[in-house]
Structure 1
Amino acid sequence: MTVLLLTHRDGLAHDMGLGHPECPDRLRAVLQALDSEEFADLLRDEPEEASVEQLTRVHPADYVAAILAIRPQPGDRIALDGDTVMSAGSARAALLAAGAAVRAVDEVCTGKVLRVFCATRPPGHHAETRKPMGFCFFSNAVVAARHAQAVHGLARVAILDFDVHHGNGTQDCMKDDPSILFVSSQQMPLYPGSGAASETGVGNVFNAPLPPGATGEAFRAAWENLFPAIEAFAPQLIVVSAGFDAHARDPLAQLRLHEEDFAWITTQICALADRCCSGRVVSLLEGGYDLEALAASAAAHVRSLLRS
């Protein structure tokens, strides 16, 4: 089993301000949790920035140019909405996060590794085709899927999202394309307000909303109901939006999951990948805002990537 960790120190330079939940300490916590003898078998490398060509497979060129043109001076910040802010290091961090998704696809599609975890920030699953929001600038998961199709010739890519918030951006970017499957569980009602089971795209979107207070038992049951649709789609690659904010300790939501639930879903996804797509899994860090819970949950996730 070969698993690669992709991360970059410049992800720490994206700073949305004192008290913002999507803070540099999130990445520090994840990396510290993975810096132990238990994870000695992890391969480790740094990604390069995504190219404009890779981004414009998903986002219009004028949108990409507008985001990349926002380069505040050190110490300054520019708010794009009430939640999403750019600092001097934000554009590079966003390019590296998208670039990690691209590099991860290259690694698994060429058989160099079986699975990749991208410990990067900012996250991506709220970034719509033409709109940054929810701490996100580029739709990293869809960038990965489009790269797999354009460069590696894959016909079908599945994106699986277990973040507590619905991946409205991912859904917006692929909902009309039957070559990409989007399967998601999320708390509802909750930001961003989307994710109803009635949102089905062109038959390629499956949403499993969970009520506030739902436990790991309800989460596991929801995914057990979703797995047959994924298997029927027969993906050639699975991309995971790995958010850990459904944890019971997380301050931004009210689901009641624990580390063992994230280990379970990861093991199930890997087993599905073994059956459908030669084991190929690309996992991208999304949310998780209690540092202790995030660190423990990310470690459980990577532990399962290594052992499954």
Structure 2
Amino acid sequence: MATAFYSHPDCLLHEMGPGHPECPERLQAIEDQLIASRIESFLQREQAPLADVAEIARVHTRAHIDYVQRQAPGEGHTWLDPDTAMNPHTWQAALRAAGAAVAATDAVIEGRYENAFCSIRPPGHHAEPARAMGFCFFNNVAIAARHALEVHALARVAIVDFDVHHGNGTEAAFAGDERVLMCSFFQHPFYPFSGAENQAANMVNLPLPARTNGTAVREAIDMIWLPRLDAFKPEMIFVSAGFDAHREDDLGNMGLVENDYAWITEQIRQIAERHARGRIVSCLEGGYNLSALGRSVVAHLRALAGI
């Protein structure tokens, strides 16, 4: 079965002003590298639908959803926190991003694709049930995982987050939920300054110091993540695919390269093949050096598609 690639032009229309690192050019950089790498023929393109408010409400409070919708400006920008702004197109883009994650989940569970990557923005893993923050409005991966649990009645899902920043929003959504195992590594201490203490039993957080390289990350994953994932036996795996731990990315200070992302993805794929019929849905999170982002996504996609 093919790997699906979900995106939508609406995700290019959200922007947060000149010089903001979470910019539309991120998706364009991915598209450029898809062409350069000649892997597009191995992917099946899908347009992201709009998420229903009811789908978002499986993770976020109605008050938060209503607040985000009300803050959408007619022109210019509205700032929800010092890093996170809306323009007139943000609401639509956020619905497309969440909708891509849900549609990919449906398609993979129904057997149309073995796995899927959602090339979407705004990202999601910092969005808490009642708060937008860190470039994020709605938590795309959490919405998709909850959809798999509550609509498709899966018993166990895993979430793997390899962004350089801790996925505080995803942890807030699922801490203590025995149906979910979340595995992450992140630079620490670093924004959002969470995840290192008072971990719930279903959270496998690996706080790593600045300048940690790929060899050390692989060793930690091999020793800590993989045994927990094998013991948990997830029926599906969701990936918060942030590429800002790359050594060329100025928003972090870690030392990963493309081969590390390929290796991590291959380990996830092997777990999925053993326990989850290969079912993976991956959603773009961070990654702000445009060249490194595009190359890293290609490495991730090669591993997902087995090419």
What TM-score do you get using the length of structure 2 for normalisation?
A: 0.97
The answer to whether the 8 Å contact 1:199/1:207 transfers is: no
In 1, distance between residues paired with 2:39 and 2:272? Answer: 24
Which position in structure 2 is the counterpart of 1:50?
51
The answer to whether the 8 Å contact 1:70/1:86 transfers is: yes
The answer to whether the 8 Å contact 1:156/1:236 transfers is: yes
1:150 CA drift (Å) = 1.6
Bigger drift between 171-180 and 108-117 goes to 171-180
Which position in structure 2 is the counterpart of 1:100?
100
Structure 1: which amino acid aligns with 2:191?
Y
In 1, distance between residues paired with 2:40 and 2:259? Answer: 18
Which position in structure 1 is the counterpart of 2:73?
72
2:206 equivalent to 1:226: no
1:71 CA drift (Å) = 2.1
Which position in structure 1 is the counterpart of 2:214?
216
Which position in structure 2 is the counterpart of 1:59?
60
Q: Deviations over 1:11-56 (max 9, x none)?
A: 0110100000000101111122123532212000101111011011
Structure 1: which amino acid aligns with 2:213?
T
Tell me, what secondary structure is at the counterpart of 2:71? Answer: coil
Which position in structure 2 is the counterpart of 1:262?
261
Residues 71-150 of structure 1: matches in 2 within 5 Å? Answer: 71-74=72-75, 76-150=76-150
Tell me, what secondary structure is at the counterpart of 1:298? Answer: helix
In 1, distance between residues paired with 2:221 and 2:160? Answer: 10
The answer to whether the 8 Å contact 1:8/1:120 transfers is: yes
In 2, distance between residues paired with 1:62 and 1:176? Answer: 23
In 1, distance between residues paired with 2:50 and 2:236? Answer: 22
Unaligned runs of 5+ residues in structure 1 are: none
1:199 CA drift (Å) = 3.5
Which position in structure 2 is the counterpart of 1:275?
274
In 2, distance between residues paired with 1:102 and 1:250? Answer: 29
1:228 CA drift (Å) = 0.7
In 2, distance between residues paired with 1:179 and 1:57? Answer: 15
Tell me, what secondary structure is at the counterpart of 1:192? Answer: coil
Bigger drift between 162-171 and 149-158 goes to 149-158
In 2, distance between residues paired with 1:304 and 1:66? Answer: 39
In 1, distance between residues paired with 2:165 and 2:209? Answer: 12
1:200 CA drift (Å) = 2.2
In 1, distance between residues paired with 2:93 and 2:143? Answer: 15
In 1, distance between residues paired with 2:52 and 2:263? Answer: 35
Structure 1: which amino acid aligns with 2:245?
A
In 2, distance between residues paired with 1:242 and 1:304? Answer: 13
1:263 CA drift (Å) = 0.5
1:176 CA drift (Å) = 2.6
In 1, distance between residues paired with 2:31 and 2:167? Answer: 24
In 2, distance between residues paired with 1:137 and 1:177? Answer: 22
In 2, distance between residues paired with 1:221 and 1:31? Answer: 32
% identity of equivalent residues = 48
Q: Deviations over 1:138-190 (max 9, x none)?
A: 11111001100121110111100000000001001111311111110001011
Structural RMSD (CA): 1.0
Which position in structure 1 is the counterpart of 2:291?
292
In 2, distance between residues paired with 1:69 and 1:154? Answer: 34
Tell me, what secondary structure is at the counterpart of 1:19? Answer: coil
User: 1:207 pairs with 192, 205, 219, which one?
Assistant: 205
Unaligned runs of 5+ residues in structure 2 are: none
Tell me, what secondary structure is at the counterpart of 1:72? Answer: coil
2:6 equivalent to 1:6: yes
In 2, distance between residues paired with 1:233 and 1:69? Answer: 41
